[in-house]
Amino acid sequence: MPDSLTQSQYDTVYNIFSLVIAAQLFASIFMLVSLTRVLPRYRQAMTVAAIVCGIAAYHYFRIFDSFKAAFVTDAVGGRGDYLQVAGAGFNEGYRYVDWLLTVPLLLLELIAVLALARRVQTSLLTRLIPASALMIALGYPGEITGDNGLRGLFGLLSTIPFAYILYVLFVELTRSLDRQPASVRRTISQLRLLLLLTWGVYPIAYLLPLLGLDGADAWVGKQLGYSIADILAKALYGLIIYRIARMKSFADDDSFAARELSVDEAREVRAGAPRSSVPSPKSARARDAE
């Protein structure tokens, strides 16, 4: 971390951290309040999404406090530079603690909302969750070291489980998507793409010091990158999970759709969404034969 920040650098980090707290906390509350807006079978996914945003809000409260304690202004009666306080380093470790808990849960909420057959769920989760925990654990030693060689090495090691997760999500999972209602297939693909794009921000921010960008600007850029990626990868991601759960609820249950939607909306849902999540006897047999 830098020895000093200008007033505008300090304000930028300060305000973005506050934005993340607000986004995560209220996304979490929104999802908890909206639990009954989806069928019970999708509430597990929604609950996990709310918990993820709650955990993130908790850690950003701590990150915010750590940041405030780490810098002190040298201004006397005005605005000036902020100097790092002796012995009160900004604790980057909170991010890793947060990711260690939330990244496996993000994968869990995706699998839960798909409501695949249980053996498929189990098979996916027993590979995705350990891989994601390993990805975070391998990143941490590289993050806290001052040695760029070690940073690169652990960054590389961490990429192996990341690549495996992408393989599972984009190759294996694709086979299961044709069992989803037609109305949500596109949204699920978008969600997967959001995951790829936002998770891609972390290695870029991680590698900034390797590019020689390790001054105050690079540090501020890294905090901005992590913060925005966290909002997209947790709060926006959770809201898309909610949208998928809503659409699947309507596709599964006409009377639920009639209660939750206006007459016009319900008619559109009935017209636009073949109820492919309720397989005909024929397609169920076809699947069992696989």
Cβ at position 124, least distance to a second copy in Å: 14
CA distances from 18 to 63, 80, 212, 285 (A): 10, 21, 29, 53
| Cβ 70 vs Cβ 90: under 8 Å | yes
Amino acid at 47: T
Cβ at position 60, least distance to a second copy in Å: 12
Q: Which is nearer to a second copy, 55 or 135 (CB)?
A: 55
Cβ at position 131, least distance to a second copy in Å: 19
Q: In what order do the strands lie in the sheet with 82-84?
A: 4-5, 82-84, 71-73
Q: Which is nearer to a second copy, 202 or 242 (CB)?
A: 242
Q: Which is nearer to a second copy, 55 or 244 (CB)?
A: 55
Instruction: Name the H helices within the chain.
Output: 7-33, 43-70, 93-114, 118-144, 148-167, 182-207, 216-230, 237-252, 254-260, 263-272, 281-288
Cβ at position 166, least distance to a second copy in Å: 25
206-213 long-range Cβ contacts below 8 angstroms, 24+ apart: 206/139, 206/142, 206/143, 206/151, 206/155, 207/151, 207/152, 207/155, 209/148, 209/151, 210/148, 210/151, 210/152, 210/155
DSSP state of 40: G
Cβ at position 11, least distance to a second copy in Å: 6
Q: Which is nearer to a second copy, 2 or 93 (CB)?
A: 93
Cβ at position 22, least distance to a second copy in Å: 6
Q: Which is nearer to a second copy, 167 or 215 (CB)?
A: 215
**Which tokens hold the place of 33?**
């309040």
Q: Which is nearer to a second copy, 119 or 282 (CB)?
A: 119
| Cβ 216 vs Cβ 241: under 8 Å | no
Q: Other C-beta atoms within 10 Å of 186: how many?
A: 9
Cβ at position 249, least distance to a second copy in Å: 11
DSSP state of 215: S
